[in-house]
Structure 1
Amino acid sequence: MQRILITGANGFVGQILCKTLQEAGHHVLALVGSRSALPKYANQTWQCDIRNAEMLEKIVAEAAPSHVVHLAAITHVPASFHEPLLTWQTNVMGSVNLLQAIRRNAPEAFVLFVSSSEVYGAAFKQGVALAENSLCQPLNPYAASKLAAEAAFNEYFRQGQPGVIARPFNHIGELQSPDFVTASFARQIALIETGQQEPTLKVGNLEACRDFLDVKDVCAAYVELLKLSKRGINYPRCFNICSGQPRRIRDVLDEMLAMSSANIIITQDPERLRPSDIPTATGNTQIMRDTTGWQPTINLHTTLEQLLTHWREKLSTQLH
């Protein structure tokens, strides 16, 4: 049994990862924001803003983790444009605060930093599947802050801190905020079906192609990466987590619309268009497969069905 500290434990990924690890028999140490709700699947929980270095240090000392998964971050790209200072302070200085707390109180702990495929940015314009050694050219404050945090983690790794960096591509599933594309589609379809929204579904750029994964597959990848702690220092430091199969967002929407009997009109909403939209974003996951044996097991159709069912049930509960 491992003592695994998860920051951002009540976020979209954090909730599923906590459950996955607890069901596997690990002692889950959950860290959530100072105003956040407590997660369901945790053995111990602390509330703390990761910008608070002093409190964070006390928590890491008390938790005494054998492993740390750092998920806590400002993750919504539009929010990073609106709140750049909060984004940089949370995503970069919050990460440095955590690294310092680990160095002083749990120097042997294996750290998994969850970065993002967004760090590649303009490099996706090449139109090929990018590998971990591709040039990173961030196009928004979220991506830039994640790349800066990667630099901080790599510096601590260079000084002996065990750990790795994950760059997950678009992951989707139940519990994801409707700020994100597939959850937005599912929520709007469910609202239209129950008469709570006009039969018009608002969308952004449908021509973009993205590399989608089920969040449960992503969590399975994180579990595999945590096992690298048993390998001493013999492992790569950075891993793409992706399917390598880009899907056009229009095709994803069509697949979801086919799951509904409602007559729905599609309209483009200028508010949902990103200034730096990349036509195609996909990755090469060979290093992850070769190192851990991981590969996605859940097909996209199943994920979309579950997502739509989740929103139908959620809105049905709210109506009654």
Structure 2
Amino acid sequence: MPRVLITGANGFVGQILCEILQKAGHQVIALGGHTSTPPRYADQFLQCDIRDAEGLEQAVALAAPTHVVHLAAITHVPTSFKEPLLTWQTNVMGSVNLLQALQNKAPKAFVLFVSSSEVYGASFKQGTPLNERSPCQPLNPYAASKLAAEAAVNEYFRQGQPGIVVRPFNHIGAHQSPDFATASFARQIALVEAGLQPPLLKVGNLQAERDFLDVRDVCNAYVALLQLADRDDDYPRCFNICSGQPRKIQTMLDRLLAMSSKAIEVGEDPERMRPSDIGCAVGDHSAIQLAIGWQPGIELQDTLAALLDYWRAEIKASPPVA
């Protein structure tokens, strides 16, 4: 039975991936920070800060993984500007610590390193879907740290550690932090419906176009890609995970508002108006489709309905204290 170690298992993607893997028959070893609680779907739970090289090596030895999905990272772009040292230490050195621990304790474990579409940065200005050969031109500390981590990870791959790099585009769904736009919209709508917020929804830039995916589609891609460990053919070492279809953030908001039981006005919040000169960011998923036949399968409307229902349930169960 495959033993899959998941770093960042308590995060947005990690919780969902643990469930999908366990239900698919994999043994799931969840790795979280020292203050993390065990995820619901895990056969084993380990605690370690990935910046702690010695502790991480001990955790890898205990996990004895056959496969690894490395999710743990600082992923919020504004946080990467506010705390660049934490971002670089976590995203780069944390990844190096993990790969070194694997080289020492599990050198045959197949590693799926989760990077980000943010690494393409300024290349999105060309206005066409980008593929894995498009130049990487990061525009923020988060993206730069992910690209640096890719370089480190690829060096371990060159030395013999099996694995791949994935660059997921914007993925949304239940459990995502309201620091991100669609989750913020859904949470605010749920608060208005519960009578806990005036019928005014605060927003940032709505004109940007992004390549949105359901987080469950992304996790299904990860699970399918782990099977490359059993293939002997020469497959690519880097994959975009995207829909290939740009959607305006305004469209996402409009669809969520249409599902609400309340009439809600929309107002711009200067603090949410993050400057961006990337009008459209969309990817080309030809490589992953050719390699494993993956493509998105969940309709956007279903994704947004599930997201709104999640926040309705969260607000009902734990209404915020004013």
Query: What TM-score comes out, normalization by structure 1 length?
Result: 0.98
Q: How many residue pairs were aligned?
A: 320
Pairing 1:207–2:190 present = no
- Kindly state the Cα deviation for residue 319 of structure 1 after the two structures are TM-superposed: 4.5
* CA–CA distance in structure 1, aligned partners of residues 252 and 226 of structure 2: 32
Per-residue CA deviations over 1:173-216 (Å, capped at 9, x if unaligned) read: 00100001110000001111111111110111100001000000
Q: 2:305 aligns to what? A: 305
Q: 1:11 aligns to what? A: 11
Per-residue CA deviations over 1:275-298 (Å, capped at 9, x if unaligned) read: 334100000000000001011110
Identity %: 69
Q: 1:231 aligns to what? A: 231
Q: 2:59 aligns to what? A: 59
* Contact 1:204–1:272 (8 Å) recurs in 2: yes
* Contact 1:117–1:240 (8 Å) recurs in 2: yes
* Contact 1:6–1:70 (8 Å) recurs in 2: yes
* Contact 1:50–1:56 (8 Å) recurs in 2: yes
Pairing 1:2–2:2 present = yes
Per-residue CA deviations over 1:204-257 (Å, capped at 9, x if unaligned) read: 110000100000000000011100001136210000000000101111111111
* CA–CA distance in structure 2, aligned partners of residues 282 and 111 of structure 1: 26
* CA–CA distance in structure 1, aligned partners of residues 63 and 298 of structure 2: 34
1:303 counterpart SS class: helix
* Contact 1:162–1:233 (8 Å) recurs in 2: no
2:4 counterpart SS class: strand
* CA–CA distance in structure 2, aligned partners of residues 160 and 133 of structure 1: 23
Q: 2:179 aligns to what? A: 179
* CA–CA distance in structure 2, aligned partners of residues 142 and 156 of structure 1: 21
Q: 1:117 aligns to what? A: 117
Q: What residue identity is the alignment partner of 1:226?
A: L
Q: 2:243 aligns to what? A: 243
* CA–CA distance in structure 2, aligned partners of residues 133 and 39 of structure 1: 36
2:318 counterpart SS class: helix
Q: What residue identity is the alignment partner of 2:113?
A: F
Query: What TM-score comes out, normalization by structure 2 length?
Result: 0.98
Q: 1:25 aligns to what? A: 25
Runs of 4+ in 1 over 2 A off after TM superposition: none
Pairing 1:195–2:198 present = no
* CA–CA distance in structure 2, aligned partners of residues 171 and 179 of structure 1: 13
* CA–CA distance in structure 2, aligned partners of residues 43 and 277 of structure 1: 44
Pairing 1:318–2:315 present = no
Q: What residue identity is the alignment partner of 2:65?
A: P
Note the 1:146-161 alignment, pairs <5 A.
146-161=146-161
* Contact 1:4–1:26 (8 Å) recurs in 2: yes
1:274 counterpart SS class: coil
RMSD value over aligned CA atoms?
Answer: 1.1
Per-residue CA deviations over 1:16-74 (Å, capped at 9, x if unaligned) read: 00010001111101100111122111111111000000010011111110000000000
